[in-house]
Structure 1
Amino acid sequence: MSRRLVAEGLGTALLLAVVVGSGIMGEQLAAGNTAIALLGNTLATGAALVVLIWIFGPISGAHFNPAVTLIAALRRDLSPGAALAYAAVQVGGAALGVWIAHAMFGEPILQVSTKLRSGGAQAFSEVVATFGLIGTILGVSRFRAGSTPMAVGLYITAAYWFTASTSFANPAVTLARSLSDTFAGIAPASAPAFILAQFIGALLAAGVFNWLLKTEQTA
């Protein structure tokens, strides 16, 4: 369990270092072109997710996400105690990753985001984004388990662009990004709606895909 928790914390920290760091780099190099900055942020995040899941998946399952951990617990793939421990190290690792990104770019380590991401459309986008992420994990792991890292990376790359919220799809990521007043940030006031929407999307996906993927019992 200690190795699994370190894997979850370290993997989530590296993910957030990529998300926030590539956002800072993209904004610095894009000369005010938000689309180019977002593209850089997107490609780095999607690519890093593939690699991080390849590395840490065999150790901890590479959740890096309390919503994914919740679904694993509901499916009894993880005990309630282990799920709580996973979520704790994910949140802590995510915050550490943000501070690592700030240090790499000479930013103040401690920040609070001022970037509001409010409104019903943004919250609904997070329901959709998280529904799709959980569906990707459940569906691909059932039929082509070895392709799960690539599928998750590709889904998040796409979801950055087809959702109005740019697909946070992760409560730990949302909390951590509220600690960064940079390109990838989200104001703390906007975070609760995102987090609620993410858990709703995850639970909806679990219900739908558990039914779709159910193995019929034959006499």
Structure 2
Amino acid sequence: MSAALPRRLAAEFLGTALLVTAVVGSGIAAARLSPGDAGLQLLENSVATMLALGVLILIFGPVSGAHFNPVVSAASWWLHRRGADGLTAPEAGLYALAQVSGAVAGTVLANLMYALAPITRSTQVRTGAGLWLGETAATFGLILLVFALTRSGRGSLAPAAVGAYIGAAYWSTSSTSFANPAVTIGRAFTDTFAGIAPGSVPGFVLAQLVGLVAGAAAVMLFYPKPTAGATALTASP
């Protein structure tokens, strides 16, 4: 039987919080350790993020599915809405609330660890067609990867595969692959290396939603039905 909903929501909150703490905290550390070298800063930030993501999926996957991302939760609902597995629409909404609040909490924690104000308005403007296209591509690839694994019975590979994908997408997409509305919102509350100006958030989130739709369509094309033994991205039985 899957974990009770309150436990799953707590796992999504804490997992997303720790993920964003890793993203923002490593960004702050990178800027301090490697001032003036943006490439090295991005390398340090991306390595810390991909490793943290893999570990957090291992920790929380058996409890909540380790979504940490509203578009993953939305895809879980949509792709399994006709079956008994997957999230219901209300559950997906509650997952999103837990993820967004966790992302903000993670940013606050990272700011405080580095003796910064708990909440600061980011001034890092990230806008333009190229960046939006990068976010669409990053989110498309993430959705396709996650559900290709789960629908083909290879969900155990998710910690390594998702971490590796995000690490690669940091470097291959123009936007450095936020690919997550909750993380995007959380990063608006830090005026540091990983921040995004609040005015840039809507464009990123809209691009992520486009990537969600395109990714879900690709999953339905290539993996129209889960293979025998495959499970939805919720909690382990």
State whether TM-score is above 0.5.
Answer: yes
1:193 aligned to 2:200? no
Which stretches in structure 2 are left out of the alignment for 5+ residues?
A: 227-237
CA–CA separation in structure 1 for the residues paired with 2:66 and 2:197: 27
Per the alignment, residue 208 of structure 1 pairs with 218
Q: Partner letter of residue 193 of structure 1?
A: G
Q: Choose from 117, 122, 133 the match for 1:124.
A: 133
Which residue of the other structure, out of 177, 186, 192, is the alignment partner of 1:176?
A: 186
TM-score by length of 2: 0.89
Q: How many pairs are equivalent?
A: 216
Residue aligning to 1:4: 8
What are the equivalent positions in structure 2 for 1:25-44 lying under 5 Å apart? 25-44=29-48
SS at match of 2:189: coil
Post-superposition shift, 1:215?
Answer: 4.0
Would the aligned equivalents of 1:66 and 1:86 in 2 still touch at CA under 8 Å? yes
Matched residue of 2:192: which SS?
coil
Measured in 2, the distance between the counterparts of 1:6 and 1:86 equals: 9
Q: Which of these residues, 48, 56, 60, is aligned with residue 56 of structure 1?
A: 60
Q: Which amino acid aligns with 2:38?
A: T
CA distance in 2, matches of 1:61, 1:137: 11
> Distance in 1 between the 2:95 and 2:130 partners?
30
Cα distance in 1 for partners of 2:35, 2:124 equals: 19
Structure 1 portions without partners, runs of 5+: none
Aligned counterpart in structure 1 of residue 74 of structure 2, from 70, 74, 84: 70
Q: Deviations over 1:82-105 (max 9, x none)?
A: 111100010000000000000110
1:75-126 CA deviation, whole Å, 9 max, x = no partner?
Answer: 2210111111100010000000000000110011110100001100000100
For residues 134 and 208 of structure 1, the distance between their equivalents in structure 2, rounded to whole angstroms, comes to 9
Task: Measure, in 2, the Cα distance between the counterparts of 1:56 and 1:81.
Answer: 21
Give 2:197's aligned amino acid.
A
Find the aligned partners of 1:73 and 1:146 in 2 and give their Cα distance: 20
State the 1:139 CA deviation.
1.1
TM-score (norm 1): 0.97
Q: Match of 1:41, as an amino acid? A: N
Contact 2:151 2:225 in 1 (8 A): no
> Any conservation in 2 of the 1:141–1:147 contact (CA below 8 Å)?
no
SS of structure 2 residue aligned to 1:49:
helix
Greater helix share, structure number: 1
Q: What amino acid sits opposite 1:4 in the alignment?
A: R
Match of 2:18 among 14, 17, 40: 14
User: Could you tell me the percent identity over the aligned residues?
Assistant: 48
Which residue number corresponds to residue 102 of structure 2? 93
